[in-house]
Every structure is written in C-alpha cells, then in structure tokens.
Structure 1
Amino acid sequence: MSKFDYKSSMLRYRILAWIMCLIAVVIVCRAGYIMTAKRDYWIQVSDRLKADSVPVKPTRGNILSTDRQLLASSLPEYMLFVDFKTMRETQTDTLWEEKEDSICYGLNQIFPQVSAEEFRQHLREGREKQSRYWRIINKRVSYDVFCEVRQLPIFRLPRFRSGFNYEEYNARTRPNGLLASRTIGEMYGLKDSARCGLELYYDSVLRGEKGLINRRKVLNKYLDIMVKEPVHGADIVTTLDVNIQDLAEHAMIEEMKKDNGELGVVIVMEVKTGDVKALVNMSRLTDSNGNYYYREVKNNAVSDLVEPGSVFKTASIFAALDDGLIDTTAAYNIDTGGGVWPMYGREMRDHNWRRGGYGVMTVPQVLHYSSNIGVSRLIDRGLYHEHPEKFVEKIHSLGLGINFDLPFPGAQKHAIIRKPVPAKKKGQYLNWSKTTLPWMSIGYETQIPPIFTVAFYNSIANNGRFMQPRFVKEIVKDGQTIKEFPPVCLIEKTYKNKEALHKIQAILEGVVSKGLGKKAGSKSFRVAGKTGTAQIADQHGSYKSGTVRYWLSFCGYFPYDDPQYTCIVCLKKTGLPASGGGMCGVVFHDIAEGIMAHQLKRDHLTARDSTSVLVPDVKKGNILAADYVLTRLGMKTGGGWKGSYATGNPIWGTAQKNAASVSLVKSGAPSKYFVPDVIGMGARDAVYILESRGVKVQLTGRGKVKTQSIAPNTKIRKNMKISLELG
C-alpha cells in the first residue's frame, strides 16, 4: 500500500503556483509601468544603444597632375564636441568639477589662440545648457590635434562615459598650396561640398557613394553592422604640369608687381594635343593694411569676355590671305599715312601717330609693327567691305567662333563675334555700321575669352589642326583607368590654301625677330607670336571717364621650327605705360625659356672642358700595367707595341683624332743589354725594369726616381749594382 501523502503534496504545488502567478503579475505590472510611465526614458536609452541606417562617408578621390603628382587629396579632420547630458547620466559630471582646470589648461596648450579662462567660460555655458553637442572649438582639427585632445583628463575615458564626441570629415588638402587653386577648385569648409573648378565639375566622380551601417551596443561596446559598403571616389588625372604652372605663376606675379597690374592671365597649351599645362588667373588684392597681395579669385581665362585687341589682327590677315584677297607681294603694299587715317567719320590711329606713323607698309610689316590703319584698310575693301558677313564667316571657320565644352562651371562656351543682319535694302545691315568692320578687324567690337585666342594660335602652330583644350586625361580607380579623354580635333584643317598658313607662320616669326615682339624672343630658339594692346572700358562701362584701362597681351608659340607649346599672357592695368610686347612679352620670354631649359637633356659625355686633356698622360713604366689601366678606363690602346724595352724610355702617344684610343709607343735601341733611363718613374716600376735586366737595385729616399748612379744606355755587366735616389 502506497504511503504517498496526496493532500500535503497538492498543498505544496498550490503554494508554488500562487508564487509563480504573483511573480508573473509583478512582471506584467512592471512591463506595463515601463511601457507607459517610463516609455520616454527607455526610448532615449534605446536610441543611445542603437542607430539604424547610419551613413558612412566615402573617401573623396584625388586630383593628380599629368605626371601623377598630388594636386588635391583627402585627409581626415575632426569636429570636437562634449556631450554634457551623457556625462550627467553616467555621473561623470562630478569628476568634471575636479578636472575642469586641467582640461581648460590642456586645451589652451593645444589651442594657444584661446585662453584657459575663455575655454572655462565656454564649457561652463554648455554644461549649464546640458547640451549633447557642445563644440570644444569652432573649427576642424587634424588627426594629430584630435589625438592630443583625446588624451586630456576625462576625455581619455571610454566614449560612453567621457562625453567626448567627434565627427570625422574628409578634408581637402593641396600639397602645393594655392598653386592653380581656381583650376583645381575649392571645397566649402564645413559642408564638405565642392565650390568651383574641377572639384565641382567632376564632383560626382570624386565624391563616390555613401555606405550604410546599423550600430548596436553590445557589452558596453558599439558594434557596426555594415549594410552597404561605401564606394570611394575615383581619381582624375589632369593635364597640368606642376613645374610649368609654378613657373607661369611666379613670372606673372613678378610682372604685375613691376607694372602695377590688376589682373594677370597665363595659359600654356601643348601644341599637338591641346593639353593645358598651366592656367593662371592672378588678381591683385588689398589686405587690411593697404598692402597688395596676389591670388586667384576667378577663372578669368575661361570666363571673361574681353576685347582681344591686336592679337585678333592675326586672324584678320590670315582670313584675307586664305581667301586670296591679299598677298605678301609688293602689289599689296598699303599706305598708312602719318599714323592717322579717316574712317567713315572717325579717325583710326596707329600707336606711333605722334611720331609720324609708318607710311607705306608691306603686308608682313603691318603685323610686325601692329598697324591699326594697315590691317583695317586691308580688310575694309573689296569682298569684305561689300559683304562683311563673309569676313565673320571666315573668322568662324578659323575656329574663333567654335563652341568649347570646358570642365569649369561658368566657363564661356563660345566667343561673341557679331554677325551682320541683312536689312530689306540690299547692301545694308540692321546691326552694322560702316566703322564696324574696320574696328572689328583690329580686335574691337568682339569679345573673346583668352582660352579661345590661345586655341586659335595653337592651330596655326599645329599646321591648321584646331584642338579642343584638354584639362583632364583620364579617370583612375584603384590604379586602373576606367575612362580616358583622348585629344579631340575640332577642325582638321582651318585653311583652304596651305600657302596662306605658311605665310602667316612666317609673319608671326617676324613679329618677334623684327617687330614689336622682340622681348618675347630667345637667343636659344626661335619664337613666333603677336602683341596686343587694347583700351577697355572701366568698371562703370565707360571709355571716357578719365581713367584709361588697358588689356595687354602676347600670344605665340615656341620653338618656331618644331612647335611644342603655345602660350598667351594677358595683363590688365590702369594708365601708361602700357605695352603688350614690352610687358606681356617679357613674361612669355621667361616662361618659354624656363620650359625649354627644364626639358633640355644633354648627354653627360658632352659635359667636358674643351681645354682639358681627355686622355691621361701615361708615364714611363710597366707597359702591361698601363695597358691594363687604360683598358679598364674604356680607352682603346693602339693595338700592339712598337719598339722594345731596350732603352726603358718609352714615349706614350696622345689620343688620335676622333677616337678615344691611346697608342702605346716605345722607342730606342732594340736591346735589353743596356741600362734604361728610369728617372721620373715610381720605385716599383724602376725596380721591375732594372731587375728584369739582371741589375741589382739599391733605393734611398721616397717618391719617384730623382737620380740613378749608372747613366742610361750603359752596357749591363754581370752582378752590376745601381743606386737610385728617390725624391
């Protein structure tokens, strides 16, 4: 019979069940309390422990020069914060009170421009406001500075206790400082967004794509769960050459300082490809003390519409030559009078009109000396006078009216060259006057950015091939080229008559060798180009305000015999003196000589003193040893010995003409039975020669043989002894 006490057992089960029910009720009530009364608190705690879809910034791509040097790159920078609310929740604020002085003193040591007291007041304000994101200092700091701040008291504690917080940015740095700053572009400070230049145009390529992570707090550590990997930006390889850019900027600044220039523009273009090797846009600014300084503010080379002045005359003469309207023969000589010529009620003047002008000029001389009257009279006659639209069409066909797609926001896509609009009456035009064509032919009444002018001159240097200016060669990702931008030829042949091209090339060379562009020339190579001096409107759009402003220029290419580079130099200044050849030509000269000197590579074998002896003087001694040494030095010996050791007085020959060889020649009696002449030899060689003939040698002193006791050519006897005195 079972002894199990059923009643007592059931009582225990009931008590256990009631206890479990009571615990369950407490848990449910507690859960309800948390879900209602403490809901806001725990939501805030949850927000601190996790974060969904946190963006991960990609690394911005680099901008590289043509030889892959860094022009712009990304480095981490940090914005530093203090989370005072977290410090109170983790009860670290009591520790803050103890360490506040140390923290403020440490910050003052790191940022000496802000005193410790200023830091104390600033941080106390944030603590009173219980701010979660109170900036320590209102600027980004480098990684080194970030590490220093991270080591201060309290800040060195774990992040969830210290209250120290930060945001990381990919900051843009330029290893070459402000070199080509408007071409490369700039970034807005705190926004991490591109502002101008290549940075802005290729922003989508450089920026990359953001990634996403989910952040969770596990065991007091934050764990990042990658949802989407960031796609880092690609690199762009530009056509800029750091050396040429630096050379052009320094040359331009020096001339602006000397001539009180307000704006300077330089463009250097490679002839065959159209690659822009340097782009300078230097403006004169004034600091708070009234002192001048120079830096790039605007990309004037591609965005400014300016009247080009006399550099446009090349296009006018080239057009007339190619259309067969003029020639360089004497039949087309033009009379420019005394430097002043009436043109439909206005006076056209040459620059030397006060000195009596040029009189009768040939077509080349018209450009050599930049005669306004000569160019305008040549163009304003015959076909062009009757049909000015033919002149404008021809200028467009030369490439000056072509559209450019340049990688710069705000860049001009085309030049402004007015086209005549025919009126109802035949031979008349609505937007045209009789003076328009003469003044347009010398560079007025048109607006052409410098980049278009240099591209036109580049086509002349390139034998008629008009190249699109190229600023970016390729896009690179992880060392692999993902996109190339090959050179683009916009017009394969700008001329109809190749003879006209050769004539304009020769005329441009004469401008530098004979005419007003002499200061642009070089003694080492030939240069071709054209000067330009144009009066421009002042800042109020007036030409008659009493302040005369000038746009000076020189555009050309070098070396003339095998053109490698085309360059335009422009300078804006107020008042006289003003000379395109005398001012811009000097800058062109400095740039051209600097580029050619940098590229000049000489064979080291030619680096010899013409007065020196190229082959060493071989002294008397062991002929086999001399042969060994000469052979090791890369010199060919004469191919055998002449004579014998009879006299011991060999005569060594010099190098034969046009050959690095040495003839080892010996002379004297062909016998070994005579005492040789060893004076001047070293002790080793003298002993060797004498003892090889059976003569015993006794030495005194040091150095070379000064005297010998037995005269040379004495017949050698058995057991003969000789004393040699060394000196």
Structure 2
Amino acid sequence: MAKSTTQNIRQIITKRFNGFFVIMLGAFGLLLFFLFKVVFVDGPTLKADASSKYLKERSIEAVRGNIYASDGSLLATSLPKYRLGMDFSVFKTSKMRDVFQKNMRPLAEHLSAFYKDRTADEYYYKLKSGFEQRKPYVLINMRLLDFQERKTVLTFPVFKLHPKNPIKTGVVFDKVNVRYAPFGQTAYRTVGYMKDKVRVGLEGAFDKELAGVPGHGIFEKMDKNMWRPLDGNKEILPQRGLDLHTTLDVDIQDIVELALMKSLDAYKGNYATAIVMETATGEIKAISNLMKNEKSPTGYSEFVNYAIEVSENDPGSVFKLPAMMAMLEESHMPLTATVTTGGKYTVYNKTMTDSHDYGTLTAQGVIEHSSNIGTIKLMQRVFGSKPSKWYDYLRNFHMLDPLDFQIKPVTGKPNFNVPAKWDALTYMWTSVGYSSNTSPLHLLSFYNAIANNGYWVQPIIVKNATKGNEVVIDYTQTQKRDSKPICSKETLDKIRIMLKGVVESGTGNNLKGTPYGIAGKTGTAQRRVNGNYIKGTYYVSFIGYFPVNNPKYTMLVAMDKPLGSSEGTYARQVTAPVFKDISDHIYARDMKIQRKLSGYLPDSLNNASLHHLIHPLDHSILYANLGFPRIEEDGRWLSFQLNKKEVKNYGLSFAPKKVANVVGMNLRDALFVLENQGLKVRAQGLGFVQSQSIPAGFPIQKNALITIQLH
C-alpha cells in the first residue's frame, strides 16, 4: 500500500516537471521567435527608424555673401558666432576623469563669472550631471559668443589643458553664422535684414544670390534641436553666396540721414524720406527713410521704405511738371503764354484754390509760383477736348507703370485710373498732383530725365554680383534706358528755364545763391485720411538737380505731416532747406563738380585753424585733390590739423580693450568705432561728437552703454 502511494507521488511530480519543462521550452521557443523577428524581420525597419531620429542627412548652410558700398565699404557681412557645449564621452580614462573632477568646481565658477546668468553651483551640478551620465553632448549656454569670447572660454580650467587640440577637453563650439552691419543703422531698411523667415531690402531682393548653395552631410542628434556632424561621412560642401556691389555712397548716405534727422527734430513729421541719384547713370547714391524710434541710439529708425513705395499721399505740386511738359509738347506753348489765376476757381461744382492771388501769370510763372488754378486752366486749354492724351504722355514719361526697381516694393504700380474711369475733373485734378498716387522714386526718375538731357534711365542700386574677383552678374547690362528723349529739345529747354526760375524767383528762392546752382520744384499737398482731405496738414517735397548747368545729382526730399503753423509747413520751409543742406555737403566733398579758384585765398581762410578726425577711406581724397602731406595708408584713422598755413597729419591707433576717443568724429564714424568695440551707443544732438560719457582709455566692458553728445 505504501509502495503504491510512493509511485503515485513520483508520477505526479514527473507529470508536473514535464509540464513545466514543456511550458519553459515553449516560452523559450517563443522568445527565440520574437528575437528572430526583431533581428531579421523587423530589424531593418527599426534601424531605419532609429537612424531617422538620431542620424539624419541635414543641410549645411552656406556662408552668405557680403554687401558692399560703391567704395568697397562693407554694408553687411556674415560673422561666425559660437554656442558653448560639452562632450563628456571624451573622459574615457581614469586619469582624464580625475582631472575633470578636480577642475569641475573652478570651471563652474569661471562659467558663472563669464555668463553672469547662473550661480557657480548651478553650473557645477549641470557639469556633474553630464559627467556622471557620460552624455555625448550638453548645451552649456545658448548665448552666442564672438571670436574673442571664444578665445577667452578656451582659457578656462579643463579647456586650457590641450591648447592645440581643445576637443580633447570636451569643449564643443557650435558655429552659427550671424548677419552683421558694420555701419549699424546706416541705410538699414535699404540694405535690409533677415528676421525669422522674413527678408527685406537688398537682403530679401537678392536672397537667392546671397544665400549660395547649401551642402549636405550626416548629422547625429545630440540634444533636443542640437545636431553634430559625424566624423568620416562624405559630405557635400556648401558653395558660398555671391557678393553684391551696390551703388550706395556711405558718405552721401551719412549726409542725407543727418539732414533728415535735423529736419524731423525741427518739424516733428511722421516720417521723412530722401533719395540721391547720379544723373547720368541712374545709380542710387543714398536712400533714407526715417521715423521716430525712442529705442534707437539716434532717436530714429527705418521701418518702411517710403522712397520706393507708392505713397498713400497725393504727390502735390511736383506733379505739375509732367503736366507742363505734356502741355508744351502737345501745343508748343510759349513761356510767355498768359493765364488769369485769382484766389479761387470753380469748375463742375468743385473749387480749387491757390495759396495766394497771383493775378495774371505766364506759363513760366505758373510753375515758378506753383499755381493750381493756372495749371488747371492751361490743361483745359490744351487737353479739354482730348483728355486721354494726358494719360498717353504720362505713360511715355514712365509715370504709370512699375519701375522694376531691384528692391521690390509692396505696391509698385502707381494709382492712376485709366481714362475710361475718369469723370470730367480727373485730368485737371491729377495735373496739380491730386486724385492719384505714385512713388517718390517714380517722380525722381522723371526729374532725372530732365537733368539727363531728356533721356530716362532706370534707377539702379546694385551694379554687379561677384564671386571672388569674377563678375558673375552685371546688372547694368539689363538696366533699361530710353533710346529717345521723353520730350523735344524745345520743350526740355523751356522746362529747365522754369525749374531754374523756381529757385531764382519762385517758391524755392530760399535756395538761390549757391556757387553751383540748384533747379527744382516744390510740392505741397493736403494730406488725405480715409478719403478726406485734412486742412492745414501737408505732405511736402522738393525735387531737383545740381549743379544747375551740368547736373551730376538728382535728389528728392519729402516729409509727411510736418508740424507748425499752416504756411510754415509748406515745402519751401521744410524740404527745400533739407535739399540745400544735403547738396551743400555733397558739393563740398565732390571735387569734380567744384569750381576752380584762381588768385589767392582771403586771410580769413589762410589763417583758419581746423582739426578733424578722418575715416581711413577718406585719406585718398585729401591726397589726390588737396595735396596735403601724405602719411602711410595702413588703415588707421587720420587726425587732420590745419593751423594757419601749416598742415599736420598723423595716424591714430586705438589701444586694444580700451574705449576709443571719438571726439571730433561724425555720428557714422563714432557708431562704427564704438559698436565694433562691443559698446551700446546712445547719441544726443547732431553734427560732430563733442564729448563721450566713458572717457577714452577706460577698460571696455562688454555691452556697456556709452552716451555721445554731438553738436
């Protein structure tokens, strides 16, 4: 009985063991099946998925091309900046780990003192966490470092242990190309900028040429959005972007901006714009658009390129000149033709007024005194039975179609209805600069044709794009030029007499008396807001050219809503003086258009005492044109001193890591020097620097604010 019981127990144990063995064998088989499936069936897919997350072919950004002024000065360039990271996987040996642990605290203290954003303890625990986890990449700080700051970081504990090969210390510098404008706010909106995906100005218009061709390479994901190129992979190197060579003259640009600032300070306008064009070539030498901005070092900034956009304001009396040119061409009207004006004129229940009752005027007098009534009555006389011919003349004058300027405006086509949509007043009202909208650049190009012996030339701001010394694209080859003048010589001569008369005896007679002579036209238009004209508020402009007998420059100056008494804010008072201020300074610096003096200088000049700091690029002007003593041209600033009849020049050198002495410099040069030293500049006043809040020779503190007073 006992034996039978024992056998039954053994059988039960055996059955259970066999069952357990079968189950284990089945589980092991199932495990083998899934292992086989993962390795051989799903393996390629899983590997590809992992690679897509941690290894990826990424684009390698090309270095963006530079933008140059006409004299070779840099207007925009790309500078390398660096983010600091660490690769803790390099500490493989016990010796290297001991060295890092010993220097971890001092390194954290240096990082805290350098960045000033976290305590030494916070940096210490960040380093310790990365070290203990052997992380292949940890971003230490997001702030971008310049090259000098990068050199400073390499002197920190740990990082300085391998000066010839800092990668062995775990330091990682992620390079980022950052766009930099050496002249700061100069021509800011025209040169343009890149913000997120928005590109404006030249940066936007020539983005394809500047951007170059990106390369490709395999990158490893290190941390969130940080990627690092894998060593040994065959990468396709990027091709650097083309360099743009513009027509902009930095000296003329500086003159224009200072003059606009001064005028905006005086009249508190909404904005002001000015364009200087070289008459024969159509090259834009300066273009400026200023609005008030308290955050700007100068108090003004460029937000909108008003110079090239179709204005919301009517052009005003500067549009009378195309009207007069069309009338002279159509009727061969003599300058002595007369018309009765009076203070008001009502036609079709609409009344047009003049600022004064001029009585009877000649055709020449209509332009010189800018008579609305005289212009409208002459238009009725010439185009009353054929108003659509006025439209045909405007098309011939390039006033109706887009200019295809190299910087594309938001709105490039002037707002001018076709004759089919005209009422009985349209052709008359448009002739005096109302009921239409155009861009300042359209108007300037028309006036430039008058200065250029009647030949219209398309405005241009970029001459060519180069790769090294090779011209890849010559934009002057596609620049449009009329083969025939826009009017007859007879008409052109009459128009030129009228424009000279505006300055000699008309609305712009406060510009007469210059040694070179100015010809031009004032424009004052009531501002229109929501379709209604606001009495006493104006959009004012002056367009003209100089020297009057052999024009080299054509220029437009405009301001929106200057403040003051009604007649004190006409173009005569506001924009005409700005034109003269700019033309005087351009004439003073352009030796080729100055009159040659004969005889002896008066004692008042012979005994003059002058002292001025001169930009390195201006040296050649002194040498070539004035015969001053020459010094070695080594890129230094020049201190020019004239005492009685003796001239002394000597080069200046700025001590490294010391605040420069900018007293005597103009605003452009002072900003250039101080901002290149890493200082934030606040400017007060206009003219030349009289004092600086941080004395010259003081140690430079990065991003310190320095105030300069100009007078």
Same fold (TM over 0.5): yes
Paired residue for 1:485?
475
Q: Which residue of 1 aligns with 2:365?
A: 365
Q: Which residue does the alignment assign to 2:71? A: 67
Q: Aligned AA for 1:402? A: D
Provide the residue aligned with 1:420 in structure 2: 419
Match of 1:165 among 151, 168, 172: 172
Provide the residue aligned with 2:662 in structure 1: none
| CA-CA distance at 1:56 after TM superposition | 3.9
Instruction: Report if the CA contact (8 A) 1:519-1:589 is conserved.
Output: no
- Report if the CA contact (8 A) 2:57-2:218 is conserved: yes
2:542 to 523, 541, 554: 554
Cα deviation 1:81-104 (Å, max 9, x = unaligned) = 3457x4898898887776554334
The residue number in structure 1 matching 2:303 is 297
Does the CA-based 8 Å contact 1:313-1:367 persist in structure 2? yes
After superposition, give the CA deviation of every residue in 1:244-266 in whole Å (9 maximum; x if it has no partner).
11111111111111111221111
Structure-2 change in CA distance of 1:409 and 1:126 (3 Å): farther
Q: Does structure 1 residue 183 correspond to structure 2 residue 183? A: no
Which of 581, 590, 599 is residue 572 of structure 2 equivalent to? 581
1:34-433 equivalence runs, <5 A = 55-82=59-86, 86=89, 99=103, 101-112=105-116, 116=120, 134-156=138-160, 162-188=169-195, 195-213=199-217, 223-224=231-232, 227-287=235-295, 293-305=299-311, 306-324=313-331, 326-329=333-336, 332-337=337-342, 339-352=343-356, 357-382=357-382, 384-421=383-420, 431-433=421-423
Distance 1:108 1:227, change over 3 A: closer
How far does residue 185 in structure 1 lie from its aligned partner after superposition?
1.3
1:139–1:482 CA distance, 2 compared to 1 (3 A):
same
Structure 2 letter corresponding to 1:300: Y
Partner amino acid for 2:260? M
CA contact (8 A) 1:247 1:594 kept: yes
Contact kept in structure 1, 2:538 and 2:570, CA below 8 Å: no
1:119/1:223 CA distance change after superposition, 3 Å: closer
Query: What CA deviation, in whole Å up to 9, does each residue of 1:305-357 have, x standing for no partner?
Result: 2311111011111110111163312xx211111x12222212211123xxxx1
Match of 1:570 among 558, 563, 580: 558
CA contact under 8 A between 1:522 and 1:593: conserved in structure 2? no
Please show how residues 641-652 of structure 1 align to structure 2 within 5 Å.
none
- Cα distance between partner residues in 2 of 1:240 and 1:458: 17
Larger Rg: 1
Which TM-score applies when normalising by structure 1?
A: 0.67
Which residue in 1 is equivalent to 2:694?
none
Name the CA distance, whole Å, in 1 between partners of 2:298 and 2:71: 34
* Residues 1:292 and 1:564: Cα distance change in structure 2 (over 3 Å): closer
Q: Is the 8 A contact 2:192 2:201 kept in 1?
A: yes
Secondary structure of 1:400's match? coil
Equivalent pair of 1:80/1:137 in contact (CA under 8 Å): yes
Aligned partner of 1:447 in structure 2 is 437
Alignment of 1:638-677 (within 5 A): none
Give 1:225 shift.
5.6
Cα shift readout 1:255-286 (whole Å, capped 9, x = no counterpart): 11111122111111111111111111111124
Instruction: Decide whether the 8 Å contact of 2:267 with 2:563 is kept in 1.
Output: no
Aligned counterparts of 1:611 and 1:588: Cα–Cα separation in 2: 31
- Residue 528 of structure 1: which of 504, 519, 522 is its match? 519
Aligned 8 A contact 1:194 1:203 in 2? no
Pick one of 580, 596, 604 that aligns with 2:587.
Answer: 596
CA distance in 1, matches of 2:499, 2:199: 40
Distance between the aligned counterparts of 1:594 and 1:511, measured in 2? 22
Q: Distance in 1 between matches of 2:123 and 2:62?
A: 33
Contact 1:60–1:206 (CA<8 Å) still a contact in 2? yes
Deviation of residue 123 (structure 1)? 7.1
Distance 1:319 1:179, change over 3 A: same
Specify the code of the residue in structure 2 equivalent to 1:298.
V
User: Which residue pairs with 2:615 in the alignment?
Assistant: none
Cα drift, residue 63 of structure 1? 0.8
Alpha-carbon distance in 2 for matches of 1:104, 1:151:
13
Tell me, what secondary structure is at the counterpart of 1:584?
Answer: helix
Q: Which amino acid aligns with 1:139?
A: R
Bigger mean CA offset, 513-522 vs 305-314: 513-522
Does the aligned pair in 2 maintain the 1:110–1:145 contact within 8 Å? no
Q: Distance in 1 between the 2:418 and 2:371 partners? A: 25
Q: Is the contact made by 1:215 and 1:222 (CA closer than 8 Å) also made in structure 2?
A: yes
Structure 2: how far apart are the matches of 1:564 and 1:604? 17
2:209–2:241: 8 Å Cα contact kept in structure 1? yes
Q: Give the match for residue 474 of structure 1.
A: 464
Q: Letter of the 1:334 partner, please give it.
A: V
Q: Which amino acid aligns with 2:414?
A: A
Structure 2: which amino acid aligns with 1:418?
N
CA distance in structure 1 between the partners assigned to 2:355 and 2:47 by the alignment: 83
- The letter for the 2-side match of 1:341 is Y
Return the offset for 1:554. Answer: 0.2
Deviation at 1:449, TM superposition (A): 0.6
- CA distance 1:590–1:36, change in 2 (3 Å): same
Q: Does 200-209 or 159-168 show the bigger shift?
A: 159-168
Shift of 1:497: 3.0
Task: Give the Cα separation in 2 of the matches to 1:130 and 1:581.
Answer: 74
SS in 2 for 1:402: coil
Pick closer, same or farther for the CA change 1:506–1:108 going to 2, 3 Å: farther
Q: 1:368 to 1:210 in 2, by over 3 A?
A: same
Pick closer, same or farther for the CA change 1:107–1:391 going to 2, 3 Å. same
Deviation at 1:148, TM superposition (A): 1.8
Determine if contact 2:447/2:543 at 8 Å carries over to the other structure: yes
Amino acid at match of 1:365: G
Deviations 1:520-558 (A, max 9, x none): 3452111110001111223x55435x8x54211000011
Select which of 517, 530, 533 maps to 1:543: 533
More moved, 205-214 vs 394-403: 205-214
Q: Number of residues paired by the alignment?
A: 547
* Paired residue secondary structure (1:418): coil
What is the CA–CA distance in structure 1 between the aligned matches of 2:316 and 2:57, rounded to whole Å?
A: 60
8 Å contact kept, 2:464–2:474: yes
Deviations 1:112-143 (A, max 9, x none): 46665776688789899998665433332211
Distance of 2:262 and 2:492 partners within structure 1? 35
The DSSP-based 3-state class of the residue aligned with 1:248 is helix
Cα deviation for residue 398 of structure 1 reads 1.6
- Note the alpha carbon deviations across 1:451-503, whole angstroms, 9 max, x for none: 10000000111111110001111111111212212263443334443211110
- The verdict on how the C-alpha distance between 1:129 and 1:457 changes in structure 2, with shifts beyond 3 A counting, is farther
Letter in 1 for 2:464: E
Cα distance in 1 for residues equivalent to 2:109 and 2:440? 55
Aligned sequence identity (%): 31
Cα distance in 2 for partners of 1:605, 1:579 equals 37
Note the residue ranges of structure 1 that are not aligned, 5 or more in a row: 1-28, 422-430, 613-727
The corresponding residue for 2:449 is 459
CA shift for structure 1 position 294: 0.3
